Amino acid sequence: MRKQIIDNLRMAGVKIRNFDDAYANKLAEYIGSFTPKNASAGQVAQAAAGMSAGVPATRKFQVEEENDILRELMGYGVPALNAGVRYGIPAAGLIGGAQGIGALYNVASQLPVFGNNPENPVPSTYVGY
């Protein structure tokens, strides 16, 4: 039983890693497809975006650095930053959209439209108060 649970967790981890690798490759390919002018801010932004979004978040980043502490920090820090950029920003956008829809619903529920008049609770599509 315990071996089966461990095997299932390992298989789930492999699937997550494969998904993340494919997503990172597609994102790096997409970011690399733009052609900004040489020595422009767009070129710097493209390099930064490729670095922050095109590195798999589930693998240690290989860095050639003499300082052991800095090498380890960058080896684990770049994938963590990458995961925040790749998954955190879209999640924040979804949360913001959901909050906007909730705010619209709150405003719309206060309007006397389609029979939600508190003085006359009978549903009606007639708006003529």
Predicted pLDDT at 94: 92
Please state the rounded mean pLDDT for residues 90-109: 88
Q: Where are the domains of the chain?
A: 2-110
Q: Per-residue DSSP letters for 21-59?
A: HHHHHHHHHHHHT--PPTTSHHHHHHHHHHHHHSS-TTS
Of the two residues 13 and 76, the one the predictor is more confident about is 13
Q: What is the pLDDT of residues 66-82, one digit of tens each?
A: 777 777 777 777 777 77
Please state the rounded mean pLDDT for residues 33-58: 67
Predicted pLDDT at 98: 93
Predicted pLDDT at 95: 94
Q: 30-39, 54-63, 120-129: which has the minimum mean pLDDT?
A: 120-129
Picking from 29, 69, 19, the residue whose alpha carbon sits closest to that of residue 53 is 29
Q: Please say whether the beta carbons of 75 and 63 come within 8 A.
A: yes
**What's the whole-number average pLDDT of the chain?**
76
pLDDT band, residue 121 (cuts 50/70/90):
low
Q: Using a pLDDT cut of 90, give the percent of the chain over it.
A: 16
SS3 assignment, position 64: coil
Picking from 46, 62, 56, 51, the residue whose alpha carbon sits closest to that of residue 79 is 56
pLDDT band, residue 128 (cuts 50/70/90):
low
- CA torsion 41→44→50→52, rounded to 10°? -100
Predicted pLDDT at 100: 93
Q: How many whole angstroms separate alpha carbon 37 and alpha carbon 46? A: 11
